[in-house]
Chain A
Amino acid sequence: GQQVMQIPQYQHVQEGEDFTTYCNSSTTLSNIQWYKQRPGGHPVFLIQLVKSGEVKKQKRLTFQFGEAKKNSSLHITATQTTDVGTYFCAGLIQGAQKLVFGQGTRLTINP
């Protein structure tokens, strides 16, 4: 079936280190969205990327959408303990009407 692969599955960093998670799709995406889920919480929308090669920034977070619209990344600069959680990418396959979620990357931080 249609899948969005996300790596790594887990990432443990020291506070202040950078963090990156990657998503790859076997098919072209109309757009990709990123969500964050804190431990015990629910997914919260962070951002969506629509255009080929798009780059968006939110403070310490940088989101990229690949030129072929098949991959995306989220980079966090200088992690803080508030960044702890699971980050999901979710792609809208072209022609489809539902999001396909990646497996998520669980970020833990050593203060």
Chain B
Amino acid sequence: DTEVTQTPKHLVMGMTNKKSLKCEQHMGHRAMYWYKQKAKKPPELMFVYSYEKLSINESVPSRFSPECPNSSLLNLHLHALQPEDSALYLCASSLRIGTDPYEQYFGPGTRLTVT
């Protein structure tokens, strides 16, 4: 199984809502990532988890709160978002992080619209 799954596929939320994005992989990968992608732009790294611990936070606003409950699951909790946060949110996983080259497997993404 080389698949990363993400739910929901689409999400529309108001600026006062609280919602969560979910990501799951069963490849035994110990590194998991959240990326944000705007139209016609490359994926922009938000967070990296390594062995269920937050390893990298790319100075993301606190209205985005990641969580890694176990080695297969990754959540992104959303609260008080702004319209400019509307984007495709991609989850990815890789065997590990580090200076060795590990390819990343991306999920299909959640298309988020903030109204």
Residues of chain A whose beta carbon lies under 8 Å from any beta carbon of chain B: 30-31, 33, 35, 41-45, 48, 50, 88, 92, 94-99, 101-104, 106
Contact = CB atoms under 8 A, between A and B. Distances in A.
A43 B44 CA distance: 12
B101 A92 contact: yes
Among B43, B104, B107, B108, max chain A CB count under 10 A is at B43
Contacts of B97: 97-98
A101 B42 CA distance: 6
B42 A104 contact: yes
A45 B104 contact: yes
B40 to A, nearest CB: 7
A43 B40 contact: no
A40 B90 CA distance: 12
Contact of A102 (B42, B92, B103, B105): B42
A42 B99 contact: no
B13 interface: no
B105 A45 contact: yes
Contacts of A98: 45, 48, 56, 97
A62 B42 CA distance: 22
Contacts of B41: 103-104
B109 interface: yes
B106 interface: yes
A94 B104 contact: no
Contacts of B99: 30, 92, 94-97
Contacts of B56: 97-98
A30 B108 CA distance: 27
Instruction: Pick from A31, A43, A44, A102 the residue with the most CB of B within 10 Å.
Output: A43
Contacts of B48: 97-98
Given A31-B101, A92-B101, A98-B45, A42 B40 contact: no
B95 to A, nearest CB: 12
Contact of B101 (A35, A42, A48, A102): A48
A71 B31 CA distance: 26
Most buried by B among A88, A95, A101: A101
